[in-house]
Structure 1
Amino acid sequence: MLCLSGEEQQKPDLREKQSLKFVPSNLRNSWRTGSLVLIVVLAWLVISARLVYLQYIGHRQFARVVARQQVYKEKIPARPGDILDRNGRLLATTIVSNSLYVVPQRLENEKSVARICDLLQLDQAAFRNRLQENQDKLFLWVKRRLSDRELSGVRALDLSDDAWGFRQEYRRQYPQGALAAHALGLRDIDGKGQGGLEEAFNHLICGQDGHRFLIRDAHGRVIEVRNDSRVAARNGETLVVTLDSIIQLYTERQLQSIVEEWKPKSACAIVMDVKTCEVLAMASVPTFDLNHPEGIDESAWKNTAIASIYEPGSTLKPFIVAAALEKGLIQTDEEFDCEHGEYRMGKRLLHDHHSYGVLSVTDVLVKSSNIGMAKIGEKLTNPGLYEAVTAFGFGQKTGIQLPGELGGIVRPLKNWNIYSTGSIPMGQEIAVTPVQLITGHVALANQGKLLNPRLIRDQIDHNYFPRSEEEPAQVRPLVSTPIVSPEVADWLVQVPMVETVTRGTGRKAQLEEYVVFGKTGTAQKPDPQTGKYSSELHVSSFICGAPAHDPRVLVLVVVNEPSVGENHYGGTIAGPPAAKILKQTLMYQRVPFDHSSQTPPERTAQKLRNALR
């Protein structure tokens, strides 16, 4: 076998390397040239394809982008409509104010930032951060709706660059300040209604914005205004509400006197026209200034007249008596043994505030006997009681046309028991809102006809646009639902409810000028810790109206948790201010004085009794 040495084994490799030296150089150059040409051709094809795409395929898309950058659609704000009271007094209006803006791209003088922040009381560090975050933008708000003092101060600065400018905006103004704050509501910085009528009728008040098109150059400057495509704004409608500014002022002053004297957690008052169920005044405390709502306590936002529920206590009793009379289960001259202050219903022992013996139906209401009412409840039974409270609208919203209204609480009939038979007639186991309660009492004062409460009297459209079918008129029709007969309603108002004021629990509400009818309510609140009724926490209320022979106005005052004094009875706390509101309202409306005595003549009472037989 032939063996090769190591030197001989390496020779073939050397021969291969030597053979490569003889490859022609022009062949190597042609390969490189071909590769370069191929790359150039591919690049040319890619560029050509892109040009073809831009020219033919993406042309329309890019043309639209350019048009959007050049043509700007500017909104023409609609002026929100005014709100007037029933006599045309201005409650809410809209004025033009100036707002300051800056163009971050053009801002060169940094000293002006510090001067602006000092003048407008802005946080300089926070504002500079905003500028930094929006440095590429062409628009940034500095402060909107400047006051006259702020506007004159900014103009006096004589800013050197053109980065600062003003735009005119609408600003909501409330000429009466805090008057009817909860009923009116307000509009936020962007003009959107928040609470009250401003929110409920925002779609009518705010109107419809218009627009126009502006042509801008590459720097964002307007070079042309295209008025040929302008769409005019449709200004908001003016609402005429049922509130009366004078009566509202009377009411709020009396509420303030309650706050000063009794230091309650909250309080509210409602004044209603008996014939139409129109709200003449609606007030709630704590309250706030509509022009300066910033920094107010959170509790002040709540409209307790529609959004606070409580057990009505004795103010519910006339409805139960009305239902029993209407069904013929009791008679006006019937008497009830009130068991000298103690009466057992099953396992429950009921008590009266005083030891009463035999009382007539009238005296059961006048003296507010719980035992007498419990015996009337036994005659009605639970189904009859349930029918009575629901017929007068409890457990459902009244539809007062204000946001945030609650429907109260009426438990399903299947959950009622023997305790309910005694509790419901005395105003327990049921929760109502003040607006529900006064609406129910309006039915009694209006000969048994339940009306839907109203806040809007009229709408004024200042535009020459026909109303579409999708925009029906918002003024609610006067809907009347008979609940009890006129004879039953008249007897309740003119006999027991009048005598409640003349010789019963509402004596402090008597007026020399008018015969007043009313009912007191003193409801115990549950103790948050024990869950049982508290002897210290109360809701004191009083409902009253006049003249008794032809009721015109009804007033309800509800005081939640008075914190001073020993006796928190409704007749003591809520009665006197309610009577003052009633008197001022009737005199303001020029209702003639009653020339009869406070106690209705016996022949009138007898006539009503005979009508019920």
Structure 2
Amino acid sequence: MNTEKSQLRISWRTWFLVCMVVLAWAVISGRLIYLQYIGHRQFAKVVARQQVYKEKIPARPGDILDRNGRLLATTIISNSLYVVPQRLEKQEHVEAVCEALHLDLSHFQKRLKQNRDKLFLWVKRRLSEQELQAIRNLNLSDDAWGFRQEYRRQYPQGALAAHALGLRDIDGKGQGGLEEAFDHLICGQDGHRFLIRDAHGRVIEVRNDSRVAARNGETLVVTLDSIIQLYTERQLQGIVQEWQPKSACAIVMDVKTCEVLAMASVPTFDLNHPEAISESAWKNTAIASIYEPGSTLKPFIVAAALEKGLLDKDEEFDCEQGEYRMGKRLLHDHHSYGTLSVTDILVKSSNIGMAKIGERLTNPGLYESVLAFGFGQKTGIQLPGELTGIVRPLSSWNIYSTGSIPMGQEIAVTPIQLITAHVALANQGKLLNPRLIRDQIDHNYFPRSEEEPVQVRPMVSTPIVSPDVADWLVRVPMTETVERGTGRKAKLEGYAVFGKTGTAQKPDPKTGKYSSQLHVSSFICGAPAHDPQVLVLVVVNEPSVGENHYGGTIAGPPAAEILNKTLMYQRVPFDKSGLKPMDRTARRQRNALR
């Protein structure tokens, strides 16, 4: 009996073991079948991903040329050094490389430690020729080090037009200026190819059958003229040396097209050394700074009053011997004036005369006028960072605004707004959009066809005032301002110059009241008066040398010098109404530029 039970127990165990073995073999066989026939494609993809590497083929960024084809920005090929941390064996090479490239040894060693399992780590990108030669002289023996070629942006003119151009960062992305505004056109479109790597990460095959070529970037032709830009920047440097301002800027415009011929700001920087750029130098004050325009706003108020029929050109005003009360506020002129004509109110820059014109316009008329000339809104200049300026809502204006606005207070403008509005006066009352782009050339260096229009903001020609009003303001009061008024230091031999000075007090940060020490000195001028071709604006923020910071004294002479050189460079015929006996000197200067 016991024997039978024992045999049954053994038989049951045997069958159990047999079943387990069969089940195990079934599971293994099923897994093998799955791997062989079902999961093959999936695992093949995993292996392929480990072996196949998609390498980017960078597009070459397009060039930037000035209006005459002079090169402002281009792209060259440079070498970048990398290391494969997995293969790095000789520590002495690390020390030698850091010394050659002036890298912090401890910091680099920390990076190596953090990436010791990686197959790629940048050491330094876009080496200079001196750095490249220094690395080659080390004769690095192991295969842990290597070079990759990358595109590097180069600016042949250095700091010229730095704020207008902007730059491209270490990864080739546009930062500031035209480089940022038109990055989508300049950068092009990257291509790619596939590389086959072995288990150690080494490339063993390049698959060109699936290669996608890069499309190089577009070349931009800008409205800037390098020669005029150079004239402008030299004058700004002279202002810095003589008056030591916090900042300054200048803009030169073509009156007929509103094209920007030059745009400069100080402090400035060298585009080829972005690592040395300070925050204050990076700001393009021509479009990204606001200030109360002072007397440079006065011609627009007179234009509006004339256009609305509230003022006659030959009308006279009692300027109250230099004191005039509006509400509880007592207005003053710099001198005690009696009766002044409309022309002399602008020539002598009488605040009281302007306040009385403001009373005729009333606050709604003043508000409408400043908006019509483009203040309180962006001009549409093709640059990033443009500010709108400040025009407060009409509901917040009061009786003091009636006198302040005509004097250029209680309103803040940008330099680009101010010169664009003055172009309207010089161009028979037509307000245009400022332009920086002339043309766009594709990656094969062919101009775009009519089917591919240049992607720039369309030019707008909006009549603000009648040609009669605009021409009279330019030819009479603004020309007289230079001949015998506050802009006398801007007179030129050979050309009849028109212009307007501006001396605006700035609020004291501590008291909030207007300071007698902090000023914005500005001057805008153009020529020839009978047929304006060029307009120049110079704005000087907080000059710190001297006591009299009048716009005609500080900004007038450099603005006139820029205007004179630009007119002669462009071979604009002398204006007969501006000829003087000493014009032989002017002719000699002009001939020297030919």
Q: TM exceeds 0.5?
A: yes
State the TM-score, normalized to the length of structure 2.
Answer: 0.93
Structure 1 residues 422 and 30, CA, compared in 2 at 3 Å: closer, same or farther?
A: farther
Distance (Å, rounded) in 1 between the aligned partners of 2:113 and 2:10: 57
Paired position in structure 1 for 2:592: none
Match of 1:344 in 2: 325
Out of 55, 59, 84, the position equivalent to 1:74 is 55
Whole-angstrom CA distance in 2 between matches of 1:596 and 1:231:
64
Aligned runs of 1:156-305 on 2, under 5 Å? 156-305=137-286
1:585 aligns with 566
Aligned residue type for 1:278: E
Report SS of the residue matched to 1:596. helix
For residue 238 of structure 1, what is the amino acid of its counterpart?
T
Using the TM superposition, name which of 64-73 and 29-38 deviates more. 29-38
Q: Which residue is 1:8 aligned to?
A: none
For 2:467, give the aligned amino acid. P
Whole-Å Cα distance in 2 between the matches of residues 246 and 468 of structure 1?
Answer: 29
- Corresponding residue SS for 2:126: coil
- Go from structure 1 to structure 2 and tell me whether the alpha carbon gap of 1:568 and 1:474 turns closer, same or farther (over 3 Å shift): same
Give ranges in structure 1 of 5+ residues lacking alignment.
1-20, 600-613
- Kindly indicate whether the alpha-carbon contact (under 8 Å) linking 1:443 and 1:483 is maintained by their aligned counterparts in 2: yes
Aligned ranges for residues 494-505 of structure 1 at < 5 Å?
A: 494-505=475-486
Q: Distance in 2 between matches of 1:66 and 1:332?
A: 87
Partner AA of 1:408 in structure 2: G
Query: How far apart in 2 are the matches of 1:334 and 1:469?
Result: 52
CA 1:23–1:466 in structure 2 vs 1: closer, same or farther (change >3 Å)? farther
Residues 47-76 of structure 1, C-alpha deviations (whole Å, 9 max, x = no match): 455445444554333222112222221111
Report if aligned partners of 1:502, 1:598 keep a CA contact under 8 Å in 2. Answer: no
Name the residue aligned to 1:354.
335
Query: Which residue number in structure 1 is paired with residue 41 of structure 2?
Result: 60
The answer to whether the 8 A contact 2:186-2:219 is kept is yes
**Runs of 4 or more off by more than 6 Å in structure 1?**
21-39, 464-471
Q: Distance in 2 between matches of 1:398 and 1:509?
A: 27
Letter in 1 for 2:152: R
Partner of 2:427: 446
**Distance in 2, Cα, partners of 1:346 & 1:225:** 84
Question: Equivalent residue for 1:18?
Answer: none
**Aligned-partner residue type, residue 246 of structure 1:** I
SS of residue matched to 1:365:
helix
Mapped to 2, the partners of 1:335 and 1:133 lie a distance apart of 81
Aligned-CA RMSD value: 2.3
Indicate how the Cα distance of structure 1 residues 47 and 388 shifts in structure 2: closer, same or farther if over 3 A, else same.
same
**Are the counterparts in 2 of residues 306 and 405 from structure 1 also a CA contact under 8 Å?**
yes
Residue 491 (structure 1) aligned with residue 466 (structure 2): no
Which amino acid in the other structure matches residue 304 of structure 1? T
Residue 416 (str. 1) matches residue 404 (str. 2): no
Q: 1:473 Cα deviation (Å)?
A: 2.4
Q: Could you tell me how far apart the structure 1 residues matched to 2:250 and 2:447 are? A: 39
Aligned-partner Cα distance in 1 for 2:18–2:70: 88
Is this contact kept in 1: 2:380–2:457, CA < 8 A? Answer: no
- The reply on whether 1:431 has 2:415 as its aligned counterpart is no
1:306 aligns with one of 287, 294, 299: 287
Question: 3-state DSSP class of the match of 2:525?
Answer: strand
Question: Is the CA contact (8 Å cut-off) linking 1:459 and 1:475 kept in structure 2?
Answer: no
CA 246–31 in structure 1, closer or farther in 2 if over 3 Å, else same: same
SS at match of 2:156: coil
| CA positional deviation for 1:595 | 2.8
Structure 2 residue matching 1:294: 3-state secondary structure: helix
Shift of 1:516: 0.7
Give the 3-state SS of the residue equivalent to 1:333 in structure 2: coil
Structure-1-length-normalised TM-score: 0.90
Are residues 514 and 94 of structure 1, via their aligned partners in 2, closer, same or farther at CA, if it must alter by over 3 Å? same
Q: Which residue of 1 aligns with 2:515?
A: 534
1:511 to 492, 498, 517: 492
Alpha-carbon distance in 1 for matches of 2:534, 2:558: 15
Pick from 80, 94, 105: which aligns with 1:99? 80
State the partner residue of 1:364. 345
Name which of 521, 535, 539 aligns with 1:554: 535
Please report how far the alpha carbon of residue 341 of structure 1 lies from its aligned counterpart in structure 2 after TM superposition: 1.3
Taking structure 1 as reference, are residues 421 and 49 closer, same or farther at Cα in structure 2, changes over 3 Å only? farther
Distance 2:135 2:482 in 1: 62
Of 575-584 and 407-416, more deviation after overlay is shown by 407-416
Does the alignment pair 1:332 with 2:332? no
Deviation readout 1:437-494 (Å, 9 max, x if unpaired): 0000000001111110000011111339998999862234332111111110010001
The 8 Å contact of residues 505 and 515 in structure 2, kept in 1 or not, is answered as yes
Task: Look up the equivalent residue of 1:64 and give its one-letter code.
Answer: K
Amino acid at match of 2:389: G
Judged with a 3 Å threshold, the aligned counterparts in structure 2 of structure 1 residues 181 and 273 are, in CA distance, closer, same or farther, namely same
Q: Distance in 2 between matches of 1:567 and 1:84?
A: 41
Name whichever of 476-485 and 31-40 sits farther off.
Answer: 31-40
Q: Any idea what SS the aligned residue of 1:213 has?
A: strand
- Identity percentage of aligned residues: 86
**Are the equivalent residues in 1 in contact too, given 2:376–2:413 (CA < 8 A)?**
yes
Deviations along 1:74-125, one digit per CA (max 9) or x if unpaired, are 1111110100111111100000111111111222222111111110111111
Any conservation in 2 of the 1:234–1:463 contact (CA below 8 Å)?
Answer: no
Is contact 2:249-2:539 (8 Å) kept? yes
The residue type paired with residue 275 of structure 1 is K
- Check the 8 A contact 2:494/2:578 in 1, yes or no: no
SS in 2 for 1:277: coil
8 Å CA contact 2:441–2:447 kept in 1: the answer is: no
* Structure 1 partner of 2:107: 126
Q: Which amino acid aligns with 2:526?
A: G
Distance 1:185 1:38 in 2: 78
Point out the more displaced range, 62-71 or 487-496. Answer: 62-71
Query: Number of residue pairs matched?
Result: 579
Partner amino acid, structure 1, of 2:81: L
- Does 132-141 or 35-44 show the bigger shift? 35-44
Inter-CA distance 480–98: structure 2 relative to 1 (3 Å threshold): same
